[in-house]
Structure 1
Amino acid sequence: MTKALGRLFDIGSVVAPIADLAAGANTGHRVHLKNCGGVAFVVLKGVASAGTDDVVVDVKEHTAATSGTSRDLDVVTTAYIKNEASLDGDETWTKLTQTAASEVTLAGATYAAHQAILVIEVDATQLSDDCEWVSVDIADPGTGGTIPGAVIAIPYDLTVQRAPENLAQLNA
């Protein structure tokens, strides 16, 4: 078994790397939290080619792997961000706080000219009793310019630990 992958965490795509978050709404893949303590969603955002459109990340909970009932998960009070004009490894985390909501907004006036890494954590106990899946969507930021980006999920505190090649798919 590896030192951490499969024992402490797994990793998977939520919004695959795309050339332009502003090309339309980006619906994230669902992550099953049945066999883990929670998930860290990692949003990677590039510099906007023009404009100052906001990037809005929306956390949702679901009753099924596909279809079912989906609703906003209004539990996000804290997120963490690293941002600079060009991420080069010397950034430190900045804590973002807000009233409990499902959305975290990266205001274009502040972040459009920056690359950013945003982390939003959701604990499995924060889901409604009828929900086991979570996802994040990124709303269409508008027409200000191209914004490259992606979202990955890192489920952590795995309750079923396996060699990486034997881990279940994240939506199972």
Structure 2
Amino acid sequence: MAMEALGRLVDVCVGAAPVDLSTAAVTGKRVALKGSGGLTIVVFKGAGTAGDDPTFTLKQHTANTGGTTSNLAVIDHYYLKSATTLAGTETWSKVTQTAAATIADPGGAGTSAESQQIIVIEVDAAQLSDGYTHVSLDCADVGTNAQLGAILYLRRDLLVERAPAALAASL
């Protein structure tokens, strides 16, 4: 029997449950990078209205709650699938930018709101500043028109392999 990835290579955690990104800013849940080599952040969003382009901000924290929070300006590239209607036939595009904590209007051109998108951001645990242990991804309020979105965290390169039912909480 083949070994499964969950518990051996990855752990899946919620960053933000599916929500209308126009109702308010979305504060991503914090996830600990202890016990993992890094984090793959997956954003999945529906199409919205022109001008309601999302902005995502990567943050680092010294604790699960409270503590110190600061922007984590390490996003120098991300991967994107974008189409009016995602059909599963799209290929990944690598989007490069000057290292920053934010991605504004993923894919550029002021038209990301009108597309369904999958955005993938990679964060290595070694990129956190000294004393910081947790990461989160926030999404600013996109405007007044409905646009659904969700954020998943994939803790990767787990240092200790466990059966999925025995994985420690990701806080």
Q: TM-score range by the shorter chain?
A: over 0.9
User: Partner of 2:54 in structure 1?
Assistant: 55
Once superposed, which parts of structure 1, at least 4 consecutive aligned residues long, lie more than 3 Å away? Answer: none
Structure 2 residue 91 is the aligned partner of structure 1 residue 92: yes
8 Å Cα contact 1:53/1:108 also seen in 2: no
- Identity of aligned pairs, percent? 46
User: Partner of 1:149 in structure 2?
Assistant: 149
Gapped regions of structure 2 (runs ≥ 5)? none
Gapped regions of structure 1 (runs ≥ 5)? none
Q: CA deviation at 1:3?
A: 1.6
Q: CA deviation at 1:51?
A: 3.1
Amino acid at match of 1:128: S
CA distance in 2: counterparts of 1:85 and 1:59, whole angstroms? 26
Per the normalisation by structure 1, the TM-score is 0.94
User: Partner of 1:105 in structure 2?
Assistant: 104
- Output aligned runs, 1:1-172, within 5 Å: 2-18=3-19, 20-48=20-48, 50-106=49-105, 107=108, 109-143=110-144, 145-171=145-171
Per the normalisation by structure 2, the TM-score is 0.94
Amino acid at match of 2:21: L
Amino acid at match of 1:12: C
8 Å Cα contact 2:50/2:111 also seen in 1: no
Q: CA deviation at 1:110?
A: 2.1
8 Å Cα contact 2:76/2:96 also seen in 1: yes
CA distance in 2: counterparts of 1:88 and 1:52, whole angstroms? 24
Q: CA deviation at 1:52?
A: 1.7
CA distance in 2: counterparts of 1:146 and 1:159, whole angstroms? 40
8 Å Cα contact 1:22/1:141 also seen in 2: yes
CA distance in 2: counterparts of 1:26 and 1:2, whole angstroms? 35
Distance 1:98 1:59, change over 3 A: same
Amino acid at match of 2:51: T
* RMSD, matched Cα: 1.3
Q: CA deviation at 1:74?
A: 0.5
CA distance in 2: counterparts of 1:70 and 1:152, whole angstroms? 20
1:58-80 Cα deviation digits (max 9, x unpaired): 00000001110000001110100
